[in-house]
Amino acid sequence: MKRRSSPGVAFGDYISTGSPSIRRGGYEKQYTMREFILPAILIVVLSVLFFRLVAIQLVHGSYYRALSDKNRIKTETIHASRGVIFDRYGTPLVFNVPGFRESVDGKTTQISQKKAVELLSHGATGLEIDSLRQYPYREEFGHVIGYVSQISKDELRSPEFSAYRGGDVIGKMGIEQEYEKKLIGTDGKKLQEVNSMGNPVRTLGQSDPIPGVDITLTLDAKLQHAAFEATKGIKQGVVIVSKLNGEVLVMLSRPSFDPNLFTLDETYEVASNAAYTELSQVLLDGDRQPLLDRAISGTYPPGSTFKLVTAAAGLENHIIDKNYEIQDTGIIYLGAFSFSNWFFTQHGRTDGVVDVIKAIQRSNDIFFYKLAELVGVETLSKVAQKFGVGSRLGIDLPGEKAGVLPTNEWKQKNVGEPWYLGDTYHYGIGQGYLLTTPLQVNAWTQAIANQGKLYRPRLLKDDKSVVLSDTLLDSKNMELIRQGMIGACIPGGVAWPFFDYKVKNPKLKIDGKNITEVPQATTSADFSEYRHVTVACKTGTAQHGGEQTLPHAWITLFAPAYNPEIVVTVLVESAGEGSSVAAPIAKKVLDEYFSR
């Protein structure tokens, strides 16, 4: 019997030699992991595509249809032009000129046609047709008309601008800001179908823009120009001219600025004699503050112009009358302090016996020290308040200040000291803690010219006149003040530029009081064409700062004196005496007005 041989070391016992299992006529197939991966991925991908398709078609179908229409239909804004601003005679003070809007990094800039053509030649996109604001009078109306600029983020959050969008241009100052809702128009829209390249295929519909409302102001462009020319050379100052019903004819603040710097691009050519040639200069000049409208936002001691209010307080409260007199001593001593009259300080002389008419004519400080003492701080403040001091008058411009109307309580609260008699002396001549705006000085002068009726100052021509105070002066007291103011403008007074004031205008009707003849010997061969105009005025020289600082120069007046037509107020900051600095400017304004 043979013995089975062993496999040997080449095939170990551990090697499996099992036979395959057989089912039904074949081998049982064994599946590997690799054979499962591909079908699984295919199923997942198809499932994702299926559910995504369901989401797009059913769940978000309306959203994607709208998005598709948006890509296919382009909405183009047609910008409305702002309303035009006219002066009282129909002269446009602002123009709308063709231009474009350019949006870069969320900032919208208005550019000229010339600049737009240049950008388009370099392949620029995103330009929109627009109209640009152009100011033909440049610096002359800078503060009162204002300018326009892009709306800010803070303004967009305000309920006032809820209907505005980013990039919109709005009024930022003056009339442009005050009457924004009138001047702004309603933009139109154009719906265009575009192709895949974004090029227009056809117009689907259009709504035309509605221009803003044109407005007419009370301003007089020629008179404003005369005031602008008269103030050339002064650094900081104000000219206000108004009618007796509150209409403002001139409102000029120096230094001014060219509002075109805010609205036009670098292609704009600034006037060679402009105070500022670049926008950055306007924005960064913190010393002269060219954006400050000094006519309504600057507050100053009014100096001797306030003596008109002090006189009214004494007369209306029956503290003095036409017979009240004092002896001008040149100086009053109060303990260790002294209070002098300007005439004594400058010339070592006195005015002798002084009544209220002479006190106004000579601007006598001693008289008004004594009168203020008799009236008292509280009564003086109550009368001053009725004349518009210490509160906003309500002119239709943004930024009006109230000034400071001092009282005993005010000083205790703000200074921490009681009111002294020396404070009353200073108060009576428009110094000390009293601060007023040039508009307020013009207003109380208007009230005196109106026999005690004070109107709200206004710039919109269509508005009705509003009386703020009535019966501030009776006719007798008004006449006393008027005589003092007339005396200030004739020899013997202090406003020497108005001595023998005349204009060349033969059309002025001679009435013997307001308009009088000019003697043949006092002028040239054409003397018959000249007329004397009677002026009622009050100068002021207001101390401020230290002893080395020049005083503010004031003058306020109305003319003709017996039948007033206009009220003129001039302030020149830190310039000297009112009669020497402010009065010549006022005279040039009257020359323009009465020579027409």
Same domain, 481 and 555: yes
Say whether pLDDT at 316 is over 90: yes
Q: How far is CA 31 from the centre of its chain?
A: 88
Same domain, 340 and 477: yes
The answer to the question of residue 129 being in a domain is yes
pLDDT of amino acid 1: 43
| Cross-strand pairs, 265 | none
* pLDDT level of residue 112 (50, 70, 90 thresholds): confident
pLDDT of amino acid 196: 60
Distance of alpha carbon 70 from alpha carbon 111, whole angstroms: 28
Q: What are phi and psi of 391, to 5 degrees?
A: -150, 160
* pLDDT level of residue 21 (50, 70, 90 thresholds): very low
pLDDT of amino acid 287: 92
CATH at 551: 3.40.710.10
Same domain, 445 and 540: yes
**Tens of pLDDT along 221-268?**
999 999 999 999 999 999 999 999 999 999 999 999 999 999 887 778
Q: Which amino acid is at 341?
A: N
The answer to the question of residue 223 being in a domain is no
Answer whether 424's CB lies under 8 Å from 416's CB. Answer: no
pLDDT of amino acid 75: 75
The answer to the question of residue 448 being in a domain is yes
Mean pLDDT, residues 135-151 taken together:
95
Say whether pLDDT at 192 is over 80: no
pLDDT of amino acid 523: 52
Same domain, 204 and 329: no
Same domain, 198 and 323: no
Q: Where in the sequence is the domain holding 97, given as residue range(s)?
A: 71-216
pLDDT of amino acid 484: 98
Q: At what angle do helices 438-449 and 475-488 cross, to 10 degrees?
A: 120
What does pTM read for this prediction?
Answer: 0.85
Stretch among 71-75, 281-285, 444-448 having the lowest mean pLDDT: 71-75
**Tens of pLDDT along 317-336?**
999 999 999 999 999 999 99
Same domain, 448 and 346: yes
Of 186, 216, 246, the one marking the end of a domain is: 216
Answer whether 310's CB lies under 8 Å from 344's CB. Answer: no
Q: Which helix (H) or strand (E) holds 16?
A: none
- Give, as one character, the DSSP assignment of residue 140: G
CB count in 10 Å sphere of residue 374: 16
pLDDT of amino acid 69: 55
The answer to the question of residue 10 being in a domain is no
The answer to the question of residue 155 being in a domain is yes
Mean pLDDT, residues 505-525 taken together:
84
Same domain, 132 and 264: no
Mean pLDDT, residues 546-566 taken together:
95
The residue that leads in pLDDT, 355 or 118, is 355
The residue that leads in pLDDT, 234 or 41, is 234
Q: What are phi and psi of 229, to 5 degrees?
A: -70, -35
pLDDT of amino acid 31: 55
Stretch among 143-147, 263-267, 297-301 having the lowest mean pLDDT: 263-267
Same domain, 508 and 570: yes
Same domain, 154 and 267: no
Closest CA to 557 of 291, 240, 293: 240
List the structure tokens of 576. Answer: 């000297």
The answer to the question of residue 328 being in a domain is yes
The mean pLDDT of the chain is 88
CB count in 10 Å sphere of residue 159: 6
Closest CA to 244 of 223, 218, 215, 224: 218
List the structure tokens of 401. Answer: 């200040």
Q: How many domains does the chain divide into?
A: 2
* pLDDT level of residue 59 (50, 70, 90 thresholds): low
* Residues shown for the chain: 596
Distance of alpha carbon 505 from alpha carbon 489, whole angstroms: 20
Of 216, 249, 282, the one marking the end of a domain is: 216
Q: Which helix (H) or strand (E) holds 588?
A: helix 583-594
Same domain, 81 and 151: yes
Distance of alpha carbon 434 from alpha carbon 430, whole angstroms: 6
Same domain, 455 and 583: yes
Mean pLDDT, residues 106-131 taken together:
76
The answer to the question of residue 382 being in a domain is yes
Say whether pLDDT at 194 is over 70: no
Say whether pLDDT at 309 is over 70: yes
The answer to the question of residue 283 being in a domain is no
Pair type for strands 566-572 and 237-243: antiparallel
CATH at 212: 3.90.1310.10
Same domain, 355 and 480: yes
Q: What distances in angstroms separate CA 348 from CA 42, 95, 227, 351, one per listed residue?
A: 114, 58, 36, 11
Q: What distances in angstroms separate CA 87 from CA 70, 211, 310, 594, one per listed residue?
A: 46, 19, 36, 19
% of the chain with per-residue pLDDT over 70 = 88
% of the chain with per-residue pLDDT over 90 = 66
pLDDT of amino acid 42: 78
